[in-house]
Amino acid sequence: MATVYHGTPVTPAPALDAVSGRSFCVSYYRPDSVEAVEAMAPHIMYDNGAFSFWMQAVRAGIDPIEAGRSDWTPYYNWLAGRLYEAGRWAVIPDRPAAPSQINDGLLNDWPYGRSRGAPVWRMDGPLDRLARLCERYDRVCLGWIGDPKREPVGCDAYRRRMDEVAALLGNYWHPLHMLRGVAVGGDYPFVSCDSTSLAQNHHRYRLRLFAGTPDEWSGVRAYADKLERMAA
């Protein structure tokens, strides 16, 4: 069963309180609720927000290869006071559209060792790079590169690529985290995956019938349970 890290921010505060005790992902791009999450979550994944920063740069007209942050020192400093608590790890920065050589260079800047950081292997990259990352780090993140509307995670092209990953790994699967992968979390032996669905959609599941009572957020809890069952 893959651990599901629910993306944040989850607002308003009572909605987050209602799902206390679960695993959460906090992005450096949107760290709004980091203190609240750290006070109630046993497991936390810190995301660097590289894809969001990259998309922001692309929309501003920057070449996709050059887009994204080049200096991640503020992110590393942000992690310094929080990463070594039990149950916490972080995604190592990369440039989503950059060649493997550039992203391999970014790995050299990571200051927190192989167990507290997980690099990203973009699934259009060379399989031998995935093999190298698995040798170097205790956990590796997979990032699907298909169009989210036409070729989402779980599409035929994704599954063909995962067949190649399975052939590479054989009978022993290195601990892998599937980025935005709750829909396939139970289809492969992932150790974890994450989802922003709770943060984006929880308001639809708030039971207005119970407004003002302790059960006001029971629909939100039920939706979080559903997402976690998908990865079982």
Range with the largest mean pLDDT of 35-49, 50-64, 218-232: 35-49
Would you place residue 66 in the very low, low, confident or very high pLDDT band (cuts 50, 70, 90)? low
Q: What is the spatial distance between Cα 222 and Cα 80, in angstroms, rounded to a whole number?
A: 35
Which token pair is 189? 């032996």
pLDDT digits (tens, 9 = 90+) for 15-26: 899 999 999 999
Structure tokens at 48: 């660097």
d(CA 24, CA 88): 10
pTM of the model: 0.91
According to DSSP, the residues that pair with 30 across neighbouring strands are: 27
Average pLDDT over residues 134-153: 90
Alpha-carbon distance of 70 to 87, in angstroms, equals 28
Strands 88-91, 3-7: pairing is unpaired
What pLDDT, on the 0 to 100 scale, is given for residue 67?
Answer: 53
State the average pLDDT over residues 125-148.
93
Q: What is the mean pLDDT of the chain?
A: 90
Among 109-118, 177-186, 198-207, the minimum mean pLDDT is found in 198-207
Centroid of chain to Cα 100: 20
What is the CA angle 43-35-24, rounded to 5?
A: 30
Q: In the chain, what are the domain boundaries?
A: 119-181
pLDDT tier, 215 (very low <50, low <70, confident <90, very high otherwise): low
Least confident range from 41-45, 157-161, 165-169, 197-201: namely 197-201
Q: Which two tokens stand for residue 171?
A: 């009978």
Sheet containing 192-195, strands listed edge to edge, beginning at the edge strand earlier in sequence: 117-118, 88-91, 44-47, 23-27, 3-7, 192-195, 176-178, 140-143, 120-122
pLDDT score for 58: 66
95, burial (CB in 10 Å: exposed 0-12, middle 13-18, buried 19+): buried
Confidence of residue 218 (pLDDT cuts 50, 70, 90): confident
